[in-house]
Every structure is written in structure tokens, then in C-alpha cells.
């Protein structure tokens, strides 16, 4: 089959738009050929367990799955009884971008809390952490956080430890959605274990797809007492790969060496370059009417633009609207939100950088912003 798209087209909509890292593609090819036992009893899945042990310590167990929604829903299911509920930020991916899968597939109640920066605190958790023993209320038994958050912000290890201690003292568990966990580790300059297992996280969704994989994530059980039934739940939720070696090989390629960190550092650096270039333009007057809404701590830049600018920029560069009017959704762009007046929105946008974003991409976009705002 011939190439059906223009490989020169670039954008800042999502790190899901990027391709597969060549080293990951090579790992898939290397895993091909011959026969390997299906459903995870293969050499690559065994190696992945060793890789996860190296990162998180003895006694952890990884369950490769196809995507982040599958990892989150199945992982959370394993932490909850049928009457259980999950406390999360209102901007959390499980609340905004998973099509109701936690409720409809997972059968769990989400108890969401508004937060300006995408992060929970013990005080925010307490807004929904109540009603234990009340038969009329879904029982809050898990707190779920995202690292890095949906707004590009980061939890420090101390902040996660405070949440873990707060949850555990109240009989709850702590789940971490790590779709962009590599970007967080790169920004914090810490090993993965420092803000997960060492900080009290019980179950982790380990991201791969946004950082160069074709379609590979994993549920990592850090405390075996916090999770049960994943052997069965993964199949029940259609997340059990028959040819699992190809999923596991991708994660091995990312996490066995430093590819995960190299990719994340590069994406973060490109976001920092983008922000610095816009800030420089604001300072010298070549860029007008642009303001930032969140600190740039990983690979995403959040900003507001003057009326009409976003749509003109999108003629050359794809990116998403954000903020209250768009629901903060990764799946909403100007086409999805057409028909609403711009006065109804904050005109907030999100610009995401990827492992394959180049300095030329950044500089071309900064120049376009300058043209459209000046």
C-alpha cells in the first residue's frame, strides 16, 4: 500500500498524532517470526516483568493492555467492589475523555472535584470523601490522580505522598493515570518509582502510546493488596491481547533502556521552546493578545488567543480548543465546537509537543502566531 498521508504535515493537537518511534517499530519487527505462546506466556512479556521490576521494585506485576482507557477502567475495577466510587479531578481523563467507560463498562461511580490546575489535594479529596457506611451513597474507596495532569501540571513526590497517606488513613487506595508519566519523570528529573510506589501509589496505568508506542499501555500493580481479579478483568474488558508479545515488545523497547526518557525530555524541551518563543514575542510586541493559563511543566502549553486567531492558525497547524466551553476535552477542536459564539468561551487552546516535534516545527508555529496576532 502506498502512503496515504503527507508526512510533512505537523501539528500540536496531541501527542497521539505522532507516529511510532523507529526503535519501537524495530522492536515489533524483532519480535516477529516463528511462534510464541499466546496470551502473555511469551518471552517478551516475561522480559517486560523484569523491566517493570527494575523500575518499581520487587513484587510488582504488569498487565499489558491496548490503550489508556482500558488501563484506567480495568485497573480501577480491580481496586473496587461493585459499590465503590472513585474521587477524581473534574478535568481527569476518566471523567472527560473516556466516553463514560468507567461508569458504563467499569460500573463505578465517579465523584469529581473542580480544580483550577488539574491536581487534587487532601482538602479537595475531602469534599467527596464521606458517607462511608451510608447505604444510599456510593462508597468512596479510590482516589485517582493523573501525572502529568490533563492541564500539563505536575505533582511532586511529596504531594503524592500526602494524598496517599490521606487516602490510606481513610481506607481508600490511590490510583495514578500515567498516560504521560514519562514526561513527568523527565521534568522532575526523578526515577519512575520516586513518585509512584515510593510515594504510596497502589496501582498505576503506565503510558506508552503518547511517548512513541504503536498502541501499548500497562496496568502495574504496585501493592498486591490493592488489586484483585486482573487476570479475569483484562479479558472481560477486551484488553487481553492474544499476540501479546507485540504489545510487550513495545514497552520493553521504551522502558528497558532510556528511550522513554529521551523521548519525553525532547517533547518537554519542545514545549519549553514554544513557550519561551511566545513569551519573547509578547515581550517585544511582535505577539499580541496571547496569555498563558497554566505553567508549562511537561509537554503541553495552554494559552488564550485573541478572537479568530485560533481558526486562522488551524489552517496550517492542527490543535485543540480547551477550557470550559470545549469541556477541556482532548477530542474537541473548532469543528466540534462550531456554532458557539467566541464570547461564550475563554478562547483557551492547548498545544502539545511530541517525541518527533522539531525545532523547525516550533519556530514556524511561533512565526505564524506572530503573524496572526500582530
Domain boundary assignment for the chain: 22-257, 260-373
Angle at 25 between CA 219 and CA 197, to 5 degrees: 25
From first to last of its 374 residues, the chain has per-residue pLDDT tens of 889 988 888 899 999 999 999 999 999 999 999 999 999 999 999 999 999 999 999 999 999 999 999 999 999 999 999 999 999 999 999 999 999 999 999 999 999 999 999 999 999 999 999 999 999 999 999 999 999 999 999 999 999 999 999 999 999 999 999 999 999 999 999 999 999 999 999 999 999 999 999 999 999 999 999 999 999 999 999 999 999 999 999 999 999 999 999 999 999 999 999 999 999 999 999 999 999 999 999 999 999 999 999 999 999 999 999 975 455 565 554 434 433 344 445 789 999 999 999 999 999 999 999 999 98
CA 167 to chain centre: 22
pTM of the entire predicted model: 0.94
CB 253 within 8 A of CB 26: yes
Give me the pLDDT at residue 345, please: 54
d(CA 236, CA 358): 41
| CA nearest to 264, candidates 303, 212, 206 | 212
Give me the pLDDT at residue 358, please: 97
- HEC-encoded secondary structure of 177-196: EECCHHHHHHHHCCCHHHHC
Looking at domain 22-257, which CATH architecture does it have?
3-Layer(aba) Sandwich (3.40)
CA 46 to chain centre: 25
CA 371 to chain centre: 32
- For 260-373, the fitting CATH number among 3.20.20.140, 3.90.1150.10, 3.90.660.10, 3.10.105.10 is 3.90.1150.10
Amino acid at each position: 500500500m502506498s502512503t496515504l498521508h503527507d508526512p510533512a504535515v505537523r501539528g500540536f493537537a496531541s501527542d497521539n498524532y505522532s507516529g511510532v518511534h523507529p526503535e519501537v517499530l524495530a522492536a515489533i519487527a524483532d519480535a516477529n517470526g516463528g511462534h510464541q505462546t499466546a496470551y502473555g506466556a511469551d518471552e517478551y512479556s516475561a522480559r517486560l516483568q523484569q523491566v517493570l521490576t527494575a523500575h518499581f521494585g520487587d513484587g510488582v506485576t504488569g498487565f499489558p493492555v491496548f490503550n489508556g482507557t482500558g488501563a484506567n477502567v480495568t485497573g480501577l475495577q480491580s481496586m473496587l467492589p461493585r459499590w465503590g466510587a472513585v474521587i477524581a479531578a473534574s478535568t481527569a481523563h476518566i471523567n472527560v475523555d473516556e466516553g463514560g467507560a468507567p461508569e458504563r463498562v467499569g460500573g463505578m461511580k465517579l465523584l469529581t472535584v473542580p480544580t483550577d490546575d488539574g491536581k487534587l489535594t487532601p482538602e479537595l479529596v475531602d469534599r467527596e470523601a464521606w458517607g462511608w457506611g451510608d447505604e444510599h451513597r456510593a462508597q468512596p474507596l479510590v482516589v485517582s490522580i493523573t501525572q502529568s495532569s490533563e492541564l500539563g501540571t505536575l505533582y511532586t513526590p511529596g504531594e503524592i505522598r500526602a494524598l496517599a497517606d490521606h487516602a490510606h488513613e481513610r481506607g481508600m487506595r490511590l490510583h495514578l493515570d500515567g498516560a504521560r508519566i514519562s514526561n513527568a519523570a523527565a521534568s522532575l528529573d526523578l526515577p519512575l518509582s520516586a513518585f509512584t510506589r515510593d510515594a504510596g501509589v497502589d496501582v498505576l496505568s503506565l503510558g506508552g502510546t503518547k511517548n512513541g508506542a504503536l498502541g501499548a499501555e500497562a496496568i502495574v500493580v504496585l501493592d498486591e493488596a490493592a488489586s484483585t481479579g486482573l487476570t479475569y478483568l483484562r479479558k472481560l474488558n477486551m484488553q487481553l491481547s492474544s499476540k501479546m508479545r507485540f504489545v510487550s515488545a513495545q514497552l520493553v523497547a521504551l522502558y528497558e533502556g532510556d528511550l522513554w526518557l529521551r523521548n519525553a525530555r525532547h517533547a518537554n524541551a519542545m514545549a519549553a521552546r514554544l513557550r519561551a518563543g511566545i513569551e519573547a514575542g509578547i515581550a517585544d510586541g511582535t505577539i499580541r493578545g496571547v496569555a498563558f493559563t497554566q505553567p508549562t511543566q511537561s509537554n503541553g502549553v495552554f494559552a488564550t488567543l485573541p478572537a479568530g486567531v485560533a481558526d486562522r492558525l488551524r489552517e496550517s497547524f492542527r490543535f485543540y480548543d480547551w477550557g470550559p466551553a470545549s469541556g477541556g476535552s482532548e477530542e474537541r477542536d473548532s469543528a466540534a465546537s462550531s456554532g458557539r459564539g467566541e464570547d461564550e468561551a475563554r478562547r483557551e487552546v492547548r498545544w502539545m509537543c511530541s517525541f518527533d516535534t522539531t525545532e523547525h516545527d516550533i519556530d514556524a508555529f511561533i512565526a505564524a502566531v506572530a503573524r496572526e496576532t500582530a
